[in-house]
Amino acid sequence: MSNRKRSLRKRDKKKRLIKYKSKLRIHNNNKGHLKRTKHFHENVKKALNYIEVFSRENLTNYEILVLAKGLKFIPSPDVKYIKQNLLRDFDELGRKMRCKYHFSDKTNADTNHPFRIKSGFKPPLANNTIENYLFATKMEICRLKINKVRNNLSKHERAALKTLRSNNNIIIKKADKNSSTVVLDKN
């Protein structure tokens, strides 16, 4: 047998092996997909045990999964605006500290009405100790590195939560007798 024929056979064998491996990979991927969909449908069936639907509105599988988590479930916050919210809250704390210092020597003769409107008064700068504390703390907050929060909802479940929140045709309540969630029509 010539060397040329041997090399052709080896090449053909390699091609067949590559083709077989790719088919095997596709088959294994499909197997994983089938397992995931089966697991997903089992989860939806289990979730239906925790929900009572007395509505004509059809709920998607993801909406059912979100409702099954319960009414006290808290989705993880959006990391985008954590630092801005923290700085805004700290500025409000600084304003309150300056107000306390500004009005500390004055006696409050009038009793505050419980339903008064917030004035939004911006007091002048307080003494150096308070201002140095506020400045140093604000710099520390700015230097904070915010770790990413792991989402406790998938993107489909987050979208389902948004649609449930915006759906005005249904009412979602806690059941009287057991700890399930009830979905009712608004009418």
Same domain, 52 and 20: yes
Residue 19 and residue 56 in one domain: yes
Q: Are residues 26 and 84 in the same domain?
A: no
pLDDT at residue 109, rounded to an integer: 54
Do 31 and 123 lie in a common domain? no
Tokens of 77: 């916050």
pLDDT of residue 10: 67
Return the pLDDT at 41. 87
Domain of residue 113: give its range: 79-143
- pLDDT score recorded for residue 108: 61
- pLDDT at residue number 67: 94
Residue-level pLDDT, tens digit, the chain, 187 residues: 566 555 556 677 777 777 766 666 655 566 666 777 888 888 899 988 889 889 888 999 999 999 999 999 999 887 778 888 899 999 999 998 998 888 887 766 556 677 777 777 888 888 899 999 999 999 999 898 888 888 899 999 999 999 999 999 999 999 888 888 999 998 7
**Same-domain check for residues 48 and 105:** no
User: How high is the pLDDT of residue 26?
Assistant: 58
